[in-house]
Structure 1
Amino acid sequence: MHPPRSSSRAALAVLLLLLPTLALAADRGAWAPGVAYAVGDIASYGGKGYDCRQAHTSLVGWEPPNVLALWLERTGNPPADTQAPTAPAGVGSPSKTYDSVSLTWSASTDNVGVTGYEVFVNNGASASATSTTTSATVTGLAANTSYTFTVKARDAAGNRSAASAAFSTTTPSRPAQDTQAPTAPGSLRSTGVTSSSVSLAFNASSDNVGVTGYEIFVNGGSSAAATSTTLNATVTGLAANTTYTFTAKARDAAGNRSAASNSVAVTTGNTAPTGSKVLVGYWHNFDNGSTNIRLRDVSSKFNVIQVAFAEPVPGAPSGTMGFTPYNATVAEFKADIATLKAQGRKVLISLGGANGTIHLDDAAARQAFVTSMQGLINTYGFDGLDLDLEGASLSLNGGDTDFRNPTTPRIQHLIAGTRQLLNDNGAGFLLTMAPETAYVQGGYAAYGGPWGAYLPVIYALRDRLTYLHVQHYNTGTVMGLDGRAYAQSTPDFHVAMAEMLLQGFPVGGNASAVFPALRPEQVVIGLPSSPQAAGGGYTTPANVQKALDYLMKGQSFGGTYVLRKAGGYPGFKGLMTWSINWDKFTNYEFSNSHRAYLDTYQ
């Protein structure tokens, strides 16, 4: 799912699929996110005890009182967790400066789970640094001074381990003051242009101590538009078909900046990529710590832009949807959409998300939904509609057992309302969906409640479905067609989850109720654009592309999962990411690497 706005978003997290487990029930202490719970496990939360009813990995938003399908409140309180973690081992320092020391150590173990580490300096009573990983940096130290460090682990119940073995090291002396600036970079030149970016190269500067980086300035501005530690840089977020003037300056560790290089004028292109593979990105209409980016400045690497989100209007009749741009006026936002569409790109309005619970329980709510959504479509000129329903928005009622003929009113009215919008806006109006894995592939192991709840919606609207991009993140471990459980963030996971849609699968294990395969050109994999964008599931570009090579060409990476179709699916459509904003935050790693890769399949 797309995480809540207060987190790095991408959603209330997707649950683990129901997986058979032989684990014995255990008292797991205080409930915590990121823990694999087995059926019968006991956890405490809010002063109460709960029995685990379904195997899953916990995630923020699915606390025991909130998810009755997973937890049953028990009478009495579970025993308190009093067992401390083991002491960290192998404390060492990979690097240090005159006023800081970076430390690493081996992980501790605990009967429930280690939640963090504390670093102590010179046997002090208070921690000088804390970390949730096996590394930390202690800052604010004195130069040329010996320090002794110890590390302790802690768990969710507040138990603290014994201290690690002490590690001692001496900080280096403070370097002499450097006042000499580097020489100016030479031969600044353009090496590549898109409709929204310019790539530059230049010759190296020299310095009496050492050059630490370069800064690129646009049109004489006082703030750097891009930085680099190499002799290349790319300035992004530019307007199409516009001439810009660039200069470069070098800097050193003391902050001295060189004179400007020669200037070079470059004109951006005027179209976006138009290959057979797509890159779909969500632009979020709120600031969650990633970056503020105007819609018109979205990287040209994206073919389809999902504006997230239209949400229910508080206090209005049920089903009434609203949308207001957060960083532009309505007129400016409409102009931004028109600009993207003029470049040949598609701009859709996405519904729901982690915070937008949509309930269409009767005909009146359905009509309010259709009327309000059509108003938004008319106002802004959206090219289509994206259903990103999460959490409580979609769930099967008891007795609703056939995905081909759903009886849950909320699902019936969603299908009918969406169908009406598709019909009213014509054959060129796009429909996409971004469900969590529990709501789609989860229907393989069980069908009911949230498990498989998207399947009737996909099935009923498959004739108009443009892309289905299931969120391959915040999902833990999920079962593939081979009956094995695959963990998120791995090539095996992406291949296994995608082929379930490309082959079809028996719903709830019922061989007479097979969810039919989608066409390859309808299937897209959804991924976080950076580690910060989701609670889990980020996959490096190299591992994503291993999965795609196998999916599209049958070129195996030697993983566990074996494709049913050995030659792969050449028509497989591409990738989706949450989010465009987080992609910019990480200097466009996702869109740059994957656009270049997908273009090799054009």
Structure 2
Amino acid sequence: MPRSRSATRMALPIWVVLVTLFAFLGPESALAADRGAWAPNVPYTVGDIVSHEGKGYDCRQSHTSLVGWEPPNVPALWLERTSAPDTQAPTAPTQLTAPSKTHASVTLSWSASTDNVGVTGYEVFVNAGASPSATTTGATTATVSNLAANTTYTFTVKARDAAGNRSVASAAFSTTTSAPPPVDTEPPTAPSALRSTSVGNSSVSLAWNASTDNVGVTGYEVFVNAGASPSTTTTGATSATVSNLAANTTYAFTVKARDAAGNRSVSSGAVSVTTTSAPPPGTKVLVGYWHNFDNGSTNIRLRNVSAKFDVIQVAFAEPVGGAGSGTLAFTPYNSTVADFKADIAFLQGQGRKVLISIGGANGTLHLDDATARQNFVTSMQSLITTYGFNGLDLDLEGSSLSLNGGDTDFRNPTTPRIVNLIQATRQLLDQNGAGFLLTMAPETAYVQGGMAAYGGPWGAYLPVIHALRDRLTYLHVQHYNTGTVTALDGRAYAQGTSDFHVAMAEMLLRGFPVGGNTSAMFPALRPEQVIIGLPSSPQAAGGGYTSPANVHKALDYLMKGQSFGGAYVLREPAGYPGFKGLMTWSINWDQFTQFEFSNSHRAYLDTYR
């Protein structure tokens, strides 16, 4: 969250926060290293030089790159260099060969070219064609598809640089595609152990055991009430969420497996599930962060928070004794403990919930061992008991959550600070009973960013969300201070747009492949668990503010299926009526701008039925 303690110092966006551990680099950091063309998913260090779109850039902050976060987009990471125009072509690729092939494709590899600035990619030509049949953005491998079986093809490769210079062609390489495979007529086995994993008023989440096939299962189809067409499909995942169901209604579900040849299995055994009752009208919620410091917005006594907010997040409980101590403390700003407790009780008497939020941009927390974990539980329980908070909000940023090397399965995390956070949070939930709320406010890199890459900060919140989803009340990802993020349709969307809000929300409502691996699908959350996080005003964040009109366009599409004609197309055409509402940073900035956020969005949410 952009929770600065002065009027002029805004919280740093994710790309800066993530690199604070590298603030004191050794003397070797002064040695510039030419890394060639910028590419995603590459670790870069301060002093590295890359090329991108004909320009050179110096790395200013150590980080691992990601699609959408190219040098021109993030000046906090890259400083543009000034240089003379590049007219020198790369050297020709060498050692072109084909490590594998099928009846319809050939996979090629070659040795890298060199360039005075940097090679940005390669072009593969088939049979001396005028146009490339395949291109890469730096990789020295490529697969050429849609070839004829048992046919000889000749391939060449050219290298290109950011200025558009192309090398001469590599030496030609010829190979013959394989004979066509025999026709596959054998269907997969039926899926087994079909079961429901969660139920809402408009959706049911299902899981099943995998089928087997003589060649390979490519996906599954979920049928509702023995319908002729599947209600939803997967591309290999053994879980799915069926949405747009009626409340308080019993449905029968079955699943079939399919293979690449189009063979379908017989149906799984059926499972019947009854959706929950519909929520009463007017139950969409508005969540706001009240910050316990004056950053130039305004200071509000807690009891005077606008009545438009249903859930108030008190920001923040922060570590004392260092990030690794695990001990958190909270001291009311400009108030006594007695007055603050009275204010919380006053708001609770109005039927509102008051939670304590942990962390923020300045509150880095590392639960790296059992001692820190127990200190966390003890100190947080003390705060909860003292003030009577209704719940706990995890707003951990920067290096508080980061995946260690080799931690590759969000379902079974091994990074100590993640495992300890899950265990400590579960203990607090158990100690405080079923009515104790749990919310989370991660940045996009930590959640949706985990689809493009899983490691380090990318996707680091996913194991926490997944392990605690049974007790998770609301997840409100911060749709601000972010680079572009790739959505389910494979396109990258920019913050501050209606498309961005719809696309990012549906990733949580639909589920997505973690690290692009369809065998590691992050299961969908229930619609009533999902909330969009927004800045309340342009001053509240470095980027991502969206006008109320464009937010309402997004919500009309997301909840009602009423398209505004944007680029992103919902996977669920009817929308998600159970979607829960909006969160904002912050209540203080909302009051500063004469309640534009709370007035406009409360009125909109109250009309939704």
Corresponding residue of 1:493: 500
> Cα distance, 1:565 vs. partner?
0.5
In the alignment, the residues of structure 2 paired with residue 52 and residue 368 of structure 1 have an alpha-carbon distance, to the nearest angstrom, of: 32
CA 39–441 in structure 1, closer or farther in 2 if over 3 Å, else same = farther
Instruction: Trace 1:500-515 onto structure 2 (pairs within 5 A).
Output: 500-515=507-522
Instruction: Give yes or no for contact 2:324–2:368 (8 Å, CA) kept in 1.
Output: no
For 1:415, what is the secondary structure of its paired residue? helix
> Cα distance, 1:13 vs. partner?
1.5
For 1:400, what is the secondary structure of its paired residue? coil
For 2:14, what is the secondary structure of its paired residue? coil
- Whether 1:5 and 2:13 are equivalent positions in the alignment is no
In the alignment, the residues of structure 1 paired with residue 61 and residue 542 of structure 2 have an alpha-carbon distance, to the nearest angstrom, of: 26
Corresponding residue of 2:345: 338
CA 510–390 in structure 1, closer or farther in 2 if over 3 Å, else same = same
Corresponding residue of 1:447: 454
Instruction: Give yes or no for contact 1:481–1:496 (8 Å, CA) kept in 2.
Output: yes
1:308 to 312, 315, 318: 315
- Whether 1:425 and 2:426 are equivalent positions in the alignment is no
- Whether 1:358 and 2:342 are equivalent positions in the alignment is no
> Cα distance, 1:327 vs. partner?
1.5
For 1:300, what is the secondary structure of its paired residue? coil
> Cα distance, 1:79 vs. partner?
5.3
Instruction: Give yes or no for contact 1:49–1:78 (8 Å, CA) kept in 2.
Output: no
CA 468–350 in structure 1, closer or farther in 2 if over 3 Å, else same = same
Instruction: Give yes or no for contact 2:446–2:462 (8 Å, CA) kept in 1.
Output: yes
Instruction: Trace 1:226-265 onto structure 2 (pairs within 5 A).
Output: none
In the alignment, the residues of structure 1 paired with residue 391 and residue 369 of structure 2 have an alpha-carbon distance, to the nearest angstrom, of: 24
> Cα distance, 1:12 vs. partner?
3.4
Per-residue CA deviations over 1:431-479 (Å, capped at 9, x if unaligned) read: 0000000000000000000000000000000000000000000013111
User: Normalization by structure 2: what TM-score?
Assistant: 0.59
> Cα distance, 1:275 vs. partner?
2.8
In the alignment, the residues of structure 1 paired with residue 499 and residue 505 of structure 2 have an alpha-carbon distance, to the nearest angstrom, of: 10
Q: Which runs of 5+ in 1 are unaligned?
A: 17-22, 65-70, 72-76, 84-272
User: Normalization by structure 1: what TM-score?
Assistant: 0.60
Per-residue CA deviations over 1:12-45 (Å, capped at 9, x if unaligned) read: 31359xxxxxx9559xxxx99xxx9959975447
For 1:388, what is the secondary structure of its paired residue? strand
CA 585–50 in structure 1, closer or farther in 2 if over 3 Å, else same = closer
2:523 to 512, 516, 519: 516
Per-residue CA deviations over 1:197-229 (Å, capped at 9, x if unaligned) read: xxxxxxxxxxxxxxxxxxxxxxxxxxxxxxxxx
CA 595–524 in structure 1, closer or farther in 2 if over 3 Å, else same = same
Instruction: Give yes or no for contact 2:403–2:455 (8 Å, CA) kept in 1.
Output: yes
For 2:293, what is the secondary structure of its paired residue? coil
Instruction: Trace 1:120-135 onto structure 2 (pairs within 5 A).
Output: none
Corresponding residue of 1:294: 301
**Root mean square deviation of aligned Cα:** 3.2
The letter for the 1-side match of 2:433 is G
> Cα distance, 1:519 vs. partner?
0.2
For 2:551, what is the secondary structure of its paired residue? helix
Instruction: Give yes or no for contact 1:310–1:351 (8 Å, CA) kept in 2.
Output: yes
CA 482–61 in structure 1, closer or farther in 2 if over 3 Å, else same = closer
For 1:307, what is the secondary structure of its paired residue? strand
In the alignment, the residues of structure 2 paired with residue 50 and residue 376 of structure 1 have an alpha-carbon distance, to the nearest angstrom, of: 37
In the alignment, the residues of structure 2 paired with residue 283 and residue 333 of structure 1 have an alpha-carbon distance, to the nearest angstrom, of: 13
Per-residue CA deviations over 1:116-139 (Å, capped at 9, x if unaligned) read: xxxxxxxxxxxxxxxxxxxxxxxx
For 1:448, what is the secondary structure of its paired residue? coil
Corresponding residue of 2:266: none
Corresponding residue of 2:549: 542
2:399 to 392, 403, 416: 392
In the alignment, the residues of structure 2 paired with residue 50 and residue 421 of structure 1 have an alpha-carbon distance, to the nearest angstrom, of: 36
In the alignment, the residues of structure 2 paired with residue 532 and residue 41 of structure 1 have an alpha-carbon distance, to the nearest angstrom, of: 32
Per-residue CA deviations over 1:34-84 (Å, capped at 9, x if unaligned) read: xx9959975447xx89898545167999955xxxxxx8xxxxx9955799x
CA 309–62 in structure 1, closer or farther in 2 if over 3 Å, else same = farther
CA 80–477 in structure 1, closer or farther in 2 if over 3 Å, else same = same
Q: Which runs of 5+ in 2 are unaligned?
A: 17-35, 40-44, 86-279
1:601 to 579, 583, 608: 608
For 1:276, what is the secondary structure of its paired residue? coil
The letter for the 1-side match of 2:486 is M
Identity in percent: 75
- Whether 1:561 and 2:568 are equivalent positions in the alignment is yes
In the alignment, the residues of structure 2 paired with residue 582 and residue 443 of structure 1 have an alpha-carbon distance, to the nearest angstrom, of: 30
> Cα distance, 1:381 vs. partner?
0.5
Corresponding residue of 1:369: 376
Corresponding residue of 1:263: none
Instruction: Give yes or no for contact 1:431–1:466 (8 Å, CA) kept in 2.
Output: yes
Number of aligned residues: 387
- Whether 1:484 and 2:491 are equivalent positions in the alignment is yes
Corresponding residue of 1:14: 14
